[in-house]
Amino acid sequence: MKIVARLYFIHIFAWLAIWLATYYPGLDIVLAVVYLVIICDQMRSLAKGSKCKGVAGFILWQAPGIIFSLISLLPWSWWGIKDYAFFLLMFWYTPVVPLLSILKWVIAGYPLYYYLLLAMPLIYGLLFTAAIQLKQPVFSASRIR
Amino acid sequence: MKKRDWQLWLFPVITMVLLVSIYFQNQASFNNKDSITYTYLRHALQGSLGYGAVGNYRNMISLQDLEPGDILLGGYPECAYGRFSHAGIYIGDGQVIEAYVDLGITQQPVEHYWTYSEICLLKVKAAPAQKQAAIDYAKSHLGELFYPVAFRPGERIWNCTKIVWEAYRQQDINLESSGDIWISPDDFYDSPWVQVIREKSV
């Protein structure tokens, strides 16, 4: 739980700092990269215990992103809830918005950042998986000792 | 101090530094109680958040004599930003360039402005060449990222008003002269650079 609280604390203050940094174009991109480095390092701590606890902690940390992304993908929208969910999804992932702003491609009428935001819980999941892999000690494959 | 405590405190410290820096660079704006920041906070305290009660209000305003470079403003009841929540620049042939959170900067048919309860058409006091240059600028940014609370500086992160404002600012026409940290659609309505073609409240 402590590490999940740390991840929330870092994410929320990164959200504020990186949003404010967009006032100084360029600084926002630097801070977004720093955020990713820090968050990857912290996720390695999350992966230190048992695999189940690590995955549960990751889901707990990414719960807002997962919920907003799933609502945004619903085929129907009550009282504009889908639109507001995408708004909130974008706010939640503000720390990576400067990096998304570099991508300017449009695919099937939607900009690339739209698809990447919807997939962001999965992208964070891949980062988490990579962090777990990095945690594993590397042994020599050689039988010659 | 533990090895990784700096990771915990880096962003809170940067947040404080940036808050102070932005405040001192924009003191006039923060002291202006009519600025968009205070307008939004006032409305938020009264329970109005976001762009208001979305619906199809069928204002049916005439769009026939719109010319390339004209600006359209639209708003819904209980909008937090002021009377209007949305803006777009007319580019001719029934098309408008505007920005949405999911589509980014996009080109759309102009008729959807009939859904707003508040609608206003504005003519910018500029030469046709300046208007065309503003349209070309907006077109060159199609597909770029929309962020609802985009600050005034920069040309990577946009909202619906910032792209219109920047397109004209590039032609030395500043549609927002109060120096606020962000641009609102109501700023265009109040600008001395525009004249109202027609407006309607439903």
B58-98 residue pLDDT tens: 999 999 999 999 999 999 998 888 899 999 999 999 999 99
Cα dist. A20→A82, A86, B98, B161, B181 in Å? 26, 21, 24, 19, 11
**Residue A25 has what pLDDT?**
97
**Residue A139 has what pLDDT?**
59
CB contact under 8 A, A111 and B19: no
**Residue B79 has what pLDDT?**
87
Write down all domains in chain B, each with its CATH number in brackets: 5-45 (no CATH), 90-109+122-194 (3.90.1720.10)
Does residue A144 fall inside a structural domain?
no
Contact B192, B168 (CB under 8 A): no
Cα dist. B181→A23, A28, B152, B166 in Å? 9, 17, 6, 13
**Helix or strand or coil: residue B119?**
strand
User: Which amino acid appears at position A69 of this protein?
Assistant: S
User: pTM value?
Assistant: 0.91
- Of all residues in chain B, the one with the smallest CA distance to A93 is B147
d(CA B86, CA B105): 13
- DSSP annotation of B116 reads -
Alpha carbon B60 to its chain centroid, in Å, reads 23
**Helix or strand or coil: residue B169?**
helix
Element holding A131 (H helix, E strand) = helix A120-135
d(CA B71, CA B83): 15
Does residue A34 fall inside a structural domain?
yes
Does residue A145 fall inside a structural domain?
no
CB contact under 8 A, A101 and B11: no
**Helix or strand or coil: residue B23?**
helix
Q: Band of the pLDDT at B1, cuts 50, 70, 90?
A: low
Q: Band of the pLDDT at B51, cuts 50, 70, 90?
A: confident
d(CA B30, CA B33): 7
Report the Cα–Cα distance between both ends of chain A, in Å, rounded: 42
Q: How many CB atoms lie within 10 A of CB A90?
A: 23
**Residue A82 has what pLDDT?**
82
User: Which amino acid appears at position A130 of this protein?
Assistant: A
Contact A81, B50 (CB under 8 A): no
Side-chain-side CA neighbours of residue B122 (13 Å): 27
Does residue A45 fall inside a structural domain?
yes
CB contact under 8 A, B156 and A41: no
Top-confidence residue, B36 or B14: B14
pLDDT digits (tens, 9 = 90+) for A63-102: 999 999 999 998 877 777 887 899 999 999 999 999 999 9
**Residue B43 has what pLDDT?**
84
Give every residue of chain A whose pLDDT is below 50, as ranges. Answer: none
Range of the domain at A61: 2-135
d(CA B50, CA B70): 25
Does residue A63 fall inside a structural domain?
yes
Chain B: residues touching A (Cβ < 8 Å): 4, 7-8, 10-12, 14-15, 18-19, 22, 50, 54, 101-104, 142-145, 147-151, 153-157, 181
How far off is chain A from B42, nearest CA to CA, in Å?
Answer: 21
**Residue B39 has what pLDDT?**
84
**Residue A137 has what pLDDT?**
58
CB contact under 8 A, A104 and B144: yes
**Helix or strand or coil: residue A115?**
helix
CB contact under 8 A, B18 and A20: yes
* Nearest residue to B76 via CA among B95, B102, B49: B49
With pLDDT > 70 as the criterion, what percentage of chain B qualifies? 98
Of B4-13, B17-26, B62-71, give the lowest mean pLDDT range: B4-13
**Residue A43 has what pLDDT?**
86
Give how many domains chain A has, as a whole number.
1
In this predicted structure, the answer to whether residue B3 has a pLDDT above a threshold of 70 is: no
d(CA A18, CA A95): 6
Of A95-99, B26-30, B194-198, give the lowest mean pLDDT range: B26-30
pLDDT digits (tens, 9 = 90+) for B139-191: 999 999 999 999 999 999 999 999 999 999 999 999 997 788 999 999 999 99
Does residue A78 fall inside a structural domain?
yes
Does residue A29 fall inside a structural domain?
yes
**Residue B82 has what pLDDT?**
87
Does residue A142 fall inside a structural domain?
no
